[in-house]
Structure 1
Amino acid sequence: AFEAMITENLQRKDVDPIEEAFAFAQLAEKGRTLEDIALKIGKSTRFVFDRIKLNGLIPELKERVRNGDIPLSGAMILSKLDEETQKEFNEEEEEQCTTAMIREFVSNSFMELGNAPWIKDDSDNWENTDIKSCSQCENNTCNHGCLFYEMNSKDARCINAACYEKKQIAYVTQKIQLEYEHLVKVGEPLSFGKTVIIARRPDTYWGEDRKVFYEKTLEAVKQLGFEIVDPDEIFRCKCWYSEDDERTLKMLEDGEVYRCLSFFGHYSPEFNVSFYYVRKETASSTSAVADLKEIEREKINAQLKRAKDIVKEKSAEEMRKWAQEKPYYRRTKELSENEQLVFDVMVLSGCSSTYLEKLNLKKWNGGSDFVNYVKNNQADRHQWYRAFIAECLSSNNVNFYSYLQKCQKILFAEQYPDDFKALSKKLADSYDKKEKKLKERLKELNNDNIEEA
């Protein structure tokens, strides 16, 4: 019965690969061979084997396969990785990805030399450096017990992460020096006709190792004496026309775009030339940026401001925990002057936006200083208390909580006795009419039951 149920589920048109993988594994655990399973569902043995491999995915990746964020061919590659490496991929690649991206991630994670950029570029030549060629390096798995590197180069891997990283950085610096001309040097203006190296801040989802490698590579390039700028801070936005497009060439000639070079790919060094639109308000007749130092000063000031904001945020977060965890509410003494001030601020900020605007305060504006307003307007305290009460008793919560309804009656019976009496009488009269009508109907129904009996 169990086997029949699973087989029937597998024959649905909408069955997803993860569900298939689970079902095949269940049949295999019950003693069915791969050939048996394949024959029963009309698929090849290889198909069944590949599906079962998907059970090796961590739950987060299984869900992403179901959602279509990860293609099936890419999922097959990921299923072969250990749990920690899968978790690393899931953290680094939060959005939809392609099989090519997954292959690149795996290649970089396992330091496959066949996909290393210096091997692909045929530049595994490190003259005048202390770096060994991969073909002669003892960290190359294909040099372990084999005299001929070329015979095993297809499966070559580096087993020394520090050596691999060193070659990646050396590849970047060497390629920049040998293949790119007219690069802007440190301190030079971004004169039209030159090329500037660009690099953005590391993304927040990057792993720590990736961030460290990025910073090391940037530092190595800076040591060469070249200027590195963040394009988002210097330019308006990216131009998506290709380098040989007539429109790009025209804008280059007119000083509307600037040629930029980036060297950091998704997982490994990757050189790309792109173009960015110049900000007219900061450009001069000869340079894309009138004063690079002024932009740097603005950047530093923004970083200083952000550093202060971080201190405030961390302080607020820590004291928020105090408010949750410390037994402050157990104190039995009268409110201190500061406690009364804080309470008044809480009450005032809880008033309606319409009322607060009359006081030149804004409810959702962090710049409104409620504390100073309370300090300087103590005589108006009872007024904003009443505004707070009105806000609470006019909210939708009144429809759901009986204690608020009781508060309404207590307050308005005292403050507006005539209106309260008139409302009470109106509702009572309405209720009496409805009650009388309904009771008459009940009486009719009861009489009908007696007659039937």
Structure 2
Amino acid sequence: MQQQIQYIKTNQLHESSLNPRKEFDQHGIDELAESIRQVGILQPIIARLNTTVIKKTIPIYEVICGSRRLSAAVIAGLTEVPVILRDLSDEEAFDLMITENLQRKDVSPLEEAVAYQSLISKGTYDVHSLSIRFGKSESYIRQRVKLNDLINEFKDLLRKEVINLSAALEIAKLNQDNQIELYDDSYKNHEQAYGSLPSLKQLKRTIERDFMTDLSDAPFDIHDVTLGPFGSCIGCQFNTASETLLFPDAPEQGRCINITCFKEKKNRHFEREIQRVQQEEPDVILGAPGYIYGEEEKRINEMKKQGVPVVEMSWSNGFSEVTIPEQPDTPDASYYETTEDYEEAMEDYLDEVKDYENDLKEYNEKIASGVVRKVFMAAGNDKGKVRYYEPVGKRANGSLSEQSGADVAKEEQIKELQEKDKRNAELAFEKTYTDVKGLLEENIYSNIEENLSQSEWQAVYVVLLESIGHVPLREEINPEGSYIDNKQKTEIASKLDINQINRLFRAFLQNRLETGSPLYQVSEAKSLISIASEKYPELVKEIDLKHQGVYLKRKESIEKKIQELTSNQ
């Protein structure tokens, strides 16, 4: 059916409220206006009669397709434009608008996103029928629709081409809260740090690390429908395995992209399991790693105060984790270029299988022996998970396998109380020292003129022991080795005889008077020479003559040159 073209005044044509396209490129419209000035409008506008607007006897028309052409025509100075009038329902008009927008060469991904979502929201299409209608893959349609989930800040960056489509699609996988966090951390100051924005590879790594969790590592049963508001993780909208078109690289069980829900499930699972373990499995040890800090450390301490027996699972505390061996992956022939490469990989695989079977046998024997203990982790990266530990070191020969989890925890509590008592004694000593030091300063102890007391002389010896160098006396007064532990100095100082005291002073003098800069530390150097002259006069005299002889010869030569220079004046 041939459609009749009419020329209608521009002031009778109005933008349709149905048009989902709200933003236009003014620069592009200006370019189109210039083209219209040169060659006119090549493609007529499609419109329908607007029966809701009455302007005296002048009919008003609603533009269905060609809003940009109308705007450009007005700029170009045209008062009339070619129009094809069609009798369309709202649904037909809307469908035609969307189709016209999507068929433009310059349609942006965000415009596509709005258009596809509009058609889906109207109930006219689903992803499959849209795919057929517009000749696009279902993955393409889903990805474009997903762009509607971008926060406005990222939509703006995509429009300005600060980020590309690939980055936008990765970001759109996150919920709004996570997008805001990502924007604030990495994109907020993009104008100052344009060159340092994350690459696509870095962006993917950041999203997987900070905003996704591998469900294969979940401490809870991902099939459990009672743990969170979204039920089971299987088929969940936040499980990447449920959206293979959007997440083609997702692992088999998927990744959770709703960290808040995942944490809530972890916490519910933990609270439920820790109560069950205490009531139904008294032999299971409640454990915590030795490296917990901050809020987690406070929480464990609070649990202990409330009588919950938690044991530190660390090597230093006599425990070593027993992990189940990992089964090697079977080589895939399609990954290898030649049959020889595949056969070589299979040989390596069979060797790995033997090692795995031996390790698994050893693991099962340990578990069956009763020596290895089942531990429910109450903190750390494994919080809420069951792990297995065997006794080592001081516990290796004990009766750990016969103790209940509570008994093991009691031993830990006794040990902690003993350590606490030790620390209290240390604090008392430290505070006593601080107060006494202040007392000596206030009373100007250094101004006392009377002879040194025995305790003061002993204190002198303690100080001297720090600076005697590696001399025979060091090993003599400390037979256990040349290193003198600070805690031993007081006892060693109290046992020195007069000969050792004299040697101690001399070792100290020698150590402190030796210098690599005798011209700078002249007093120290002269004192050392003076002592040596007194104790070894002949040897020092010989040394002095040797160096003085050289000096006198040089002095004579210098004086001769000075005399020659003086006589030539």
Q: TM-score, normalised by structure 1?
A: 0.51
- TM-superposition CA deviations, 1:157-192 (whole Å, max 9, x none): 69xxxxx99x866531423566x899852xx5xxxx
Give the deviation of 1:427 after TM superposition: 0.8
Query: Which runs of structure 2 are paired with 1:345-356 in the superposition (5 Å)?
Result: 345-354=462-471, 355-356=473-474
Amino acid of the residue matched to residue 386 of structure 1?
R
2:285, 2:320 → 1: CA distance?
15
Give the deviation of 1:428 after TM superposition: 0.7
Structure 1 unaligned spans of 5+:
1-36, 78-96, 108-115, 126-132, 136-153, 159-163, 189-194
Tell me if 1:427 matches 2:547: yes
Which of residues 443, 446, 449 is equivalent to 1:331? 446
- TM-superposition CA deviations, 1:205-236 (whole Å, max 9, x none): x22x332333456778x75xx88563536655
CA distance 1:280–1:248, change in 2 (3 Å): farther
Give the deviation of 1:385 after TM superposition: 1.6
Amino acid of the residue matched to residue 333 of structure 1?
I
CA distance 1:291–1:74, change in 2 (3 Å): farther
Tell me if 1:211 matches 2:297: yes
CA distance 1:331–1:99, change in 2 (3 Å): farther
Amino acid of the residue matched to residue 232 of structure 1?
W
Query: Which runs of structure 2 are paired with 1:4-83 in the superposition (5 Å)?
Result: 44-46=161-163, 54=186
Q: Which residue of 2 aligns with 1:26?
A: none
Aligned partners of 1:348 and 1:370 also within 8 Å: yes
Aligned partners of 2:319 and 2:389 also within 8 Å: no
Give the deviation of 1:375 after TM superposition: 3.5
CA distance 1:182–1:212, change in 2 (3 Å): closer
Amino acid of the residue matched to residue 426 of structure 2?
K
Which of residues 389, 412, 425 is equivalent to 2:532? 412
Q: Which residue of 1 aligns with 2:273?
A: 175
2:370, 2:517 → 1: CA distance?
58
- Give SS of 1:45's match: coil
Aligned partners of 2:371 and 2:401 also within 8 Å: no
Tell me if 1:403 matches 2:523: yes
1:341, 1:383 → 2: CA distance?
15
Which of residues 308, 312, 329 is equivalent to 2:422? 308
Query: Which runs of structure 2 are paired with 1:95-244 in the superposition (5 Å)?
Result: 102-103=210-211, 122-124=224-226, 170-175=268-273, 185=282, 196-203=285-292, 206-207=293-294, 209-216=295-302, 228=311, 230-232=313-315, 235=318, 237-242=320-325
Give the length in aligned residue pairs: 324
- Give SS of 2:385's match: strand
Q: Which residue of 2 aligns with 1:342?
A: 459
Aligned partners of 2:315 and 2:392 also within 8 Å: no
Amino acid of the residue matched to residue 347 of structure 1?
L
- TM-superposition CA deviations, 1:71-119 (whole Å, max 9, x none): 9899989xxxxxxxxxxxxxxxxxxx97655447xx9xxxxxxxx9879
Amino acid of the residue matched to residue 319 of structure 1?
Y
Which structure is larger by alpha-carbon Rg, 1 or 2?
2
Aligned partners of 2:515 and 2:525 also within 8 Å: no
Structure 2 unaligned spans of 5+:
1-156, 169-181, 231-256, 328-355
- Give SS of 1:273's match: strand
Which of residues 245, 251, 267 is equivalent to 2:363? 251
CA-atom RMSD in angstroms: 5.8
2:544, 2:390 → 1: CA distance?
72
Aligned partners of 2:518 and 2:524 also within 8 Å: yes
Q: Which residue of 2 aligns with 1:271?
A: 385
Q: Percent identity?
A: 13
1:328, 1:303 → 2: CA distance?
39
Aligned partners of 1:200 and 1:231 also within 8 Å: yes
Aligned partners of 2:322 and 2:389 also within 8 Å: yes
Q: Which residue of 2 aligns with 1:357?
A: 475
Aligned partners of 1:252 and 1:258 also within 8 Å: no
- Give SS of 1:237's match: strand
Give the deviation of 1:390 after TM superposition: 2.1
CA distance 1:298–1:265, change in 2 (3 Å): closer
Aligned partners of 1:351 and 1:391 also within 8 Å: yes
